[in-house]
Amino acid sequence: MQELWQSILDLLSKVVTPDWGELIALIPIALLAIVLFFFALTIRAYAGAGPTRRAPARLTPIAPPDLHMPGGSYAPIFAAVGVSGLLWGLVVGGTALWIGLTILVLALLYWGREAIRDYDHATHVETLPAVIHAGPPPGVHMPGPSFRPLLGALGVTSLLGGLVAGGWLLAVGVIILVMTLVGWLVDAKAEYAKTVEADRTGHLENIPAPVWPRRLLQVAVALIVVAVLVDTGIFPPRSSDSTAGGATGSPVPSGAAATPGTAFEITAKAIAFDTLDLTVPANTPFTIKFTNEDPPGVLHDVDIRAGDKTSVVQDQDVINGGDSVTYSYQGLPSGSYVFICSIHPIPGMTGTLTVK
Ligand SMILES: [Cu+2]
């Protein structure tokens, strides 16, 4: 009996226990088949629907009275394109991310404008008499509106961004904040003067309502944009002259510069050296004027290693993006070496150094 049962189980296991790996690999194909099947069904349903359900006889829906129904909008489609662009940018990174973000922001702004238009339209058909308050009740003083908090928020944001990223953004944040606080103080002083005046006249007036600070906002935003551009190194374009003898630069030893063929210049940009081949005389000190043209935060150096690219022969300090330095190296016995960035030991930052 036991044997019979076992033989049945063995037989069944061939059928019941499939190769799961192969089945899982088939899942996407099965999903695709389902989707295609659905599309086919939909197309067939439309094809068989007959002319009456198709375009020519389409009616424009009319909303019942007192019911507001906004018309069709492309905004959700634009937003979907923007989100797709953003997600795609998150996958591939770099410029695509910014393009996706820009599309999304533009789409949302468009949507917002549409919504505001719709809102304006809806509020204009309002038939109830609008209640307009002439002012606060007697004895209550209500200060007028002020844009200072908004500018202050802009300044604080810029200041905090500057504290994180450093550079000109910090200075711009301080400038905007100081401008805001001084303006606020001026407003407060004027309001105080009004209360003093009210003691005499028995009537407390507000200071004139401020106009929208278009010019001030434009200046603030322009300052922030310029600071970000300068901090990220996009503007002005860095030339080798402007960074010559940077903060970390050390003077070229006069003895080394005197020997011909011992002073070199290497520029690193986009995580690659512009030179990948150097030849120096044996047992002779030499220098490399090294310029890092990558954005701040991207560190590079030029170390010398043996031909195996791992044994360090001479080590140098890394410099930050935007900096420049003159490295001094001691004379080397003749042979084949590499000069390499210890941060990015990739082919683009590994050059051959021939000493002979
Ligand atoms: Cu590097």
**Token duo for residue 192:** 């105080």
**Token duo for residue 270:** 């986009």
**What pLDDT sits at residue 353?**
93
Cα(263)–Cα(288) distance, integer angstroms:
6
**What pLDDT sits at residue 50?**
65
* Among the listed residues 293, 284, 237, the one whose alpha carbon sits nearest the alpha carbon of residue 265: 293
State in Å: Cα 292 to ligand 1 middle.
9
Question: Is the pLDDT score of 243 beyond 50?
Answer: no
Confidence of residue 146 (pLDDT cuts 50, 70, 90): confident
Question: Are residues 296 and 282 in contact, defined by beta-carbon separation less than 8 angstroms?
Answer: no
Cα(38)–Cα(339) distance, integer angstroms:
60
Residue 72 identity (one-letter amino acid): G
Residues surrounding ion ligand 1 at CB below 5 Å? 300, 341, 343-344, 349
Q: Residues for the chain: how many in total?
A: 356
Question: Is the pLDDT score of 245 beyond 50?
Answer: no
Query: How do the residues of the chain divide into helix, strand and coil, expressed in percent and rounded to 5?
Result: 50, 15, 40
State in Å: Cα 280 to ligand 1 middle.
22
- Top mean-pLDDT range of 137-151, 167-181, 225-239: 167-181
Over its C-alpha atoms, the chain yields an Rg (Å, rounded) of 36
Cα(50)–Cα(132) distance, integer angstroms:
58
pLDDT tens string 281-295: 888 899 999 999 998
* Among the listed residues 277, 264, 272, 261, the one whose alpha carbon sits nearest the alpha carbon of residue 351: 277
**What pLDDT sits at residue 52?**
58
Confidence of residue 69 (pLDDT cuts 50, 70, 90): confident
**What pLDDT sits at residue 130?**
65
DSSP assignment of 29-72 equals HHHHHHHHHHHHHHHHHHHTT-GGGSGGGPPPP-PPTT------
State in Å: Cα 228 to ligand 1 middle.
23
pLDDT tens string 6-60: 888 887 776 666 677 777 888 889 999 999 999 999 998 888 776 655 556 666 7
What kind and span of H or E run contains 303? strand 303-306
Mean pLDDT (whole number) for 125-150: 73
Confidence of residue 339 (pLDDT cuts 50, 70, 90): very high
**What pLDDT sits at residue 79?**
92
State in Å: Cα 343 to ligand 1 middle.
5
**Token duo for residue 49:** 């629907």
pTM of the model: 0.35
Minimum mean pLDDT among 48-62, 73-87, 273-287, 317-331: which range? 48-62
Greater pLDDT, 59 or 304:
304
State in Å: Cα 300 to ligand 1 middle.
4
Minimum mean pLDDT among 79-88, 119-128, 304-313: which range? 119-128
State in Å: Cα 267 to ligand 1 middle.
11
Other beta carbons less than 10 A from residue 175's beta carbon: 17
Mean pLDDT (whole number) for 101-122: 88
Mean pLDDT of the chain: 83
Question: Is the pLDDT score of 126 beyond 80?
Answer: no
State in Å: Cα 184 to ligand 1 middle.
48
State in Å: Cα 323 to ligand 1 middle.
13
3-state secondary structure of 354: strand
Question: What letter would DSSP give residue 336?
Answer: E
Degrees, nearest 5: CA angle 170-173-178: 130
Question: Is the pLDDT score of 254 beyond 50?
Answer: no
State in Å: Cα 301 to ligand 1 middle.
6
The phi, psi pair for 166, rounded to 5°, reads 75, 180
Cα(312)–Cα(340) distance, integer angstroms:
10
Cα(112)–Cα(73) distance, integer angstroms:
12
Cα(177)–Cα(158) distance, integer angstroms:
9
State in Å: Cα 87 to ligand 1 middle.
29
The pLDDT > 90 percentage for the chain reads 34
State in Å: Cα 293 to ligand 1 middle.
11
Cα(172)–Cα(97) distance, integer angstroms:
26
pLDDT tens string 150-177: 889 999 999 998 888 878 889 999 999 9
**What pLDDT sits at residue 63?**
75
Question: Is the pLDDT score of 242 beyond 50?
Answer: no
Cα(313)–Cα(174) distance, integer angstroms:
47
